[in-house]
């Protein structure tokens, strides 16, 4: 699979494009589910208000799918210049982007599963828990750490730009969450 991703950007573009669109769909669905399923038992601190509307949604879609176009551009530059550094950069960014969107999609799916569990087993919960944004971000960083460990191990077994990119995404995401807990 690694050689297919490196030799033909269409495979990476298609995988990333699908993951980006899945993120949009899952994010919207998980947000709606979370609001309805968890509101009885959990109160989440909101950091920013999200705007809605055609222009905002269109901008979000462009932002979400832009990595797919970026990797195609880097691959084309690498092929045109015949510089191995561009191909390595391309492989690293593909790995990073796929890993990042896969992690986000899996987290959305996990949220949907927790919401379904809350709906089925709401009798097993009582009271209401207020969760501040900083705690939620720290919790997310902790949940992402095992993914980082697994992917670092994979990168040690297969040291290539693609696998290094795969391993760097959860590290960057966890670091971002931890930095946000400081503010």
Alpha-carbon Rg for the chain, nearest whole angstrom, is 19
User: Based on the structure, what is the number of domains in the chain?
Assistant: 1
Rounded to whole angstroms, the Cα distance separating 67 from 167 reads 17
Domain of 166 in residue numbering reads as 2-182
Condensed to tens digits (0 to 9), the pLDDT of residues 151-163 reads: 999 999 999 999 9
pLDDT in tens, 34-92: 777 778 888 877 654 455 555 555 666 666 667 777 777 887 887 788 888 888 888 89
**How many other CB atoms sit within 10 Å of the CB of residue 93?**
21
Tell me if the pTM is above 0.85: no
Dist CA 8 CA 46 (whole Å): 42
């Amino acid at each position: 699979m690694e050689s297919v991703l490196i030799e033909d950007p269409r495979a990476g573009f298609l995988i990333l494009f699908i993951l980006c669109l899945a993120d949009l769909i899952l994010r919207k669905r998980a947000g709606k589910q979370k609001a309805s399923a968890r509101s009885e038992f959990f109160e989440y601190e909101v950091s920013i208000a999200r705007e809605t509307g055609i222009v905002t949604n269109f901008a979000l879609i462009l932002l979400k799918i832009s990595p797919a176009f970026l990797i195609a551009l880097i691959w084309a530059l690498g092929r045109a210049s015949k510089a191995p550094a561009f191909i390595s950069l391309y492989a690293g960014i593909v790995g990073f982007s796929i890993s990042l969107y896969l992690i986000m999609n899996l987290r959305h799916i996990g949220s949907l599963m927790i919401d379904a569990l809350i709906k089925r087993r709401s009798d097993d919960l009582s009271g209401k828990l207020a969760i501040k944004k900083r705690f939620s971000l720290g919790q997310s960083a902790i949940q992402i750490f095992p993914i980082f460990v697994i992917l670092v191990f994979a990168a040690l077994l297969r040291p290539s730009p693609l696998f290094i990119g795969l391993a760097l995404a959860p590290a960057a995401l966890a670091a971002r969450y931890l930095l946000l807990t400081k503010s």
